[in-house]
Homo-oligomer: A and B are copies of this chain.
Amino acid sequence: MDLQGAFHVYDTTMRDGAQQEGLNLSVADKLNIARLLDELGVGFIEGGWPGANPKDTEFFRRAADELDLRNAVLAAFGSTRKAGIAAADDPQIAALRESRAPWVTLVAKSHTRHVELALRTTLEENLAMVRDSVSHLRESGQQVFIDAEHFFDGYRLDRGYALEVLAAAFEAGAEAVALCDTNGGMLPHWVGEIVSEVIAETGGRVGIHAHNDTGCAVANSIAAVEGGATHVQGCINGYGERTGNADLITTVANLELKLGRTVLPRGRLAEATRIAHAVADITNFPPASRQPYVGTSAFAHKAGLHASAIKIDPNLYQHLDPVEVGNDMRLLVSDMAGRASIELKGMELGFDLSSDPDLITRVTARVKELESQGYTFEAADASFELLLVEAVEGARPAYFDIESWRVITETSPAGEAVSEATVKLKAEGVRYVVTGEGNGPVNALDHALRQAIGQAFPEVAKFELIDYKVRIFDQGHGTDATTRVLIETTDGESSWVTVGVGHNVIEASWGALIDGLTFGLRRHHG
C-alpha cells in the first residue's frame, strides 16, 4: 500500500500537537512517538520545526540516523521565506534543507489581512515568497506541502487572493495544499463546500488541517474528504493548541470503519488503542476516558437497560466491535446497574450467579448501598470480587486479624516531614507489632502492614503499591467531606484495584490497602 500515494494520513502530533498547554516533548519522546506513529501506519510524520528551536533540529539529526521507519516518511515544518530576501539566503529555509527530511511542509499566508497585519508585507511579495520557497526546496531535492494558514477565513474575505496563493504553490511544484482552519471556527458543511470549490477551481491536490474550536474538527475533516480532499492532518489524542487539532485516530477510524476507505496498512487500526495510550504515556497526559474508539469508557456500559440487552447481543448497544480498534467492551457495576450487569460481571470474574436470583438481589442491593456511601466498583474490580466472594461463601476471606493501627507524621529536625506507622495484627496464630516508615502516612501504613503480614505469608514481599488515587466529595464544607481512595497493587505479574471510603483519608486508604492485600493473598492461596 502506497502511503505516500492516493491518500495521505499526515500526523502533526509532534509539531502542532506540541502547542498544547502543558505539553512538552524531549527529543527522546519525539523519537518514541515517531516509532509509534510508524507502527500505526501513517504516511507522514511532521517532526517539528528545525531551526526554530534546538530540540527540533536535534530531532531531525537523530531521526536520520536512529529511526528505521517502515511506513511513514518525515516532514519538516517551516515557513515560506522572509520578505525581501532570496529563499536560498533565508537561514530558516536552510535549516529545512539541512534537516534531511524528504518532505517539507511550509506554512503560507492565504488571508489578506494576515499578510498585511501579521506579515507586514504586500500581497504580491507574499505570492513571490510562496513561489520562491517551494521551487527552491524542490530544486534542492525535497518534496513540498503547503499549509495554507487561515485559508477558510481568508477565502471568505478575499476568495480571489486565497486561490492565487494556492495557484502559486501548485505552479512552483507543491504536491498538495492543506487548507487550514487555523482559528477553528468552521462547521462541516462550510468546509465541504469550500473544499470542493477549491478543487474545481485549482485542479490541485487538497488536504485538510482542522482545529476543534467548534467541537467539529473530526467532522470537518470528514466533510473535507467527502468534498474531495485526499490528505488529512491531525494529532494523536486530538492534542493541539486551544481546543486541539482533529483527533487523527478518530478521523482515520471513521474513514476506514464508517466510510469504507482504506487509508492505513491492513490490520494497523487494531493497534489504535494501544498506540493512543502509549503516546499518552509519553506526553504524560492521562488519556481521556471518553475518547472515541480508544477511550477506556468508549465501549463501557453502565445503564441497566443496556446491560440486559447486551446479555442477548453485544452489538445491540455498540456501534462496532471494539476489537477493530483494539479496544474492549466493559460492563460497569454501579448503582444504576441492574441485576443483569451484576450477573454478567460475576460471569466475567468466574462466578455463575444465574441459578441464584436471591444472591443477585443481595449483591445488587449491597453495591447500591456502598455506592451511595461513596464507594465505586467501576474501577475497583478486586473490591467487587471480594464483595462477591463474601456473598457467595458467606464470609469475606480473612488471612489476618487487625488489632489496631496508628500513623504519625511530623517535622523532623532537618525540616522534612516523615511518616511512621505502627500496626498490630494476628496472622496464622501469631501476633505481630510492626513499625514502618514512609514518605507519607499511607506509604508508612503499607510498609508496616506488608512487613507484618509478610512474616506469615512470604509472597506478600512481591506485592507493591503502584498507584494511589484520592478523590474528595465535598459535601458543602471541607470538614464534612467523604474521601474515596483507589489503590492499585501488583504482584509483579498482574495488578488489581481496590477501593476504600471514609471521612478520614487515612481510614479510607487503610480500607483499600486491606482489600488489596486480601485480594492478592486469595489469588495465591485460593
Q: Which residues of A contact B (CB under 8 A)?
A: 18-22, 24, 28, 53, 79, 113-114, 117-118, 150, 182-185, 187-189, 212-220, 222-223, 226, 238, 240-244, 247, 250-251, 253-254, 258-259, 284, 288-293, 295-303, 305-306, 308-309, 312-313, 316-320, 332, 334-336, 371, 376, 378-379, 402, 404-411, 416-419, 438-443, 464-475, 477-479, 481, 483, 488, 502-507, 510
Given contacts A312-B118, A411-B405, A472-B469, contact A185 B507 (CB under 8 A): no
Partner of A288, one of B288, B376, B411, B479: B288
CB nearest neighbor in B for A424: B411
CB nearest neighbor in B for A246: B215
Partner of A506, one of B226, B402, B440: B440
**Residues of chain B contacted by A220 (CB below 8 angstroms):** 219
Given contacts A79-B305, A185-B258, A214-B253, 5 further A-B contacts (CB under 8 A): A21-B296, A113-B316, A117-B316, A212-B290, A219-B219
Beta-carbon contact of B213 and A292 below 8 Å: yes
Partner of A292, one of B214, B258, B376: B214
Beta-carbon contact of B467 and A478 below 8 Å: yes
Beta-carbon contact of A22 and B379 below 8 Å: yes
CB nearest neighbor in B for A185: B319
> What are 13 inter-chain pairs, A to B, with CB distance below 8 A?
A22-B378, A53-B336, A150-B316, A183-B317, A188-B189, A216-B218, A219-B219, A241-B297, A404-B411, A406-B411, A409-B504, A441-B505, A505-B505
**Residues of chain B contacted by A223 (CB below 8 angstroms):** 188-189
**Residues of chain B contacted by A439 (CB below 8 angstroms):** 479, 503-504
Beta-carbon contact of A470 and B467 below 8 Å: no
Beta-carbon contact of A438 and B479 below 8 Å: yes
Beta-carbon contact of B478 and A443 below 8 Å: yes
Beta-carbon contact of A404 and B409 below 8 Å: no
Q: How far is the CB of A187 from chain B (nearest CB, A)?
A: 6
Beta-carbon contact of B506 and A481 below 8 Å: no
A157 to B506 CA separation, bound complex (whole angstroms) = 55
Q: How far is the CB of A357 from chain B (nearest CB, A)?
A: 18
A416 to B150 CA separation, bound complex (whole angstroms) = 59
**Residues of chain B contacted by A250 (CB below 8 angstroms):** 214-215
Beta-carbon contact of A407 and B409 below 8 Å: yes
Beta-carbon contact of B226 and A290 below 8 Å: no
Q: Which 9 A-B pairs have the closest CB atoms?
A: A185-B319, A219-B219, A406-B410, A417-B507, A215-B218, A118-B309, A215-B250, A183-B319, A465-B478
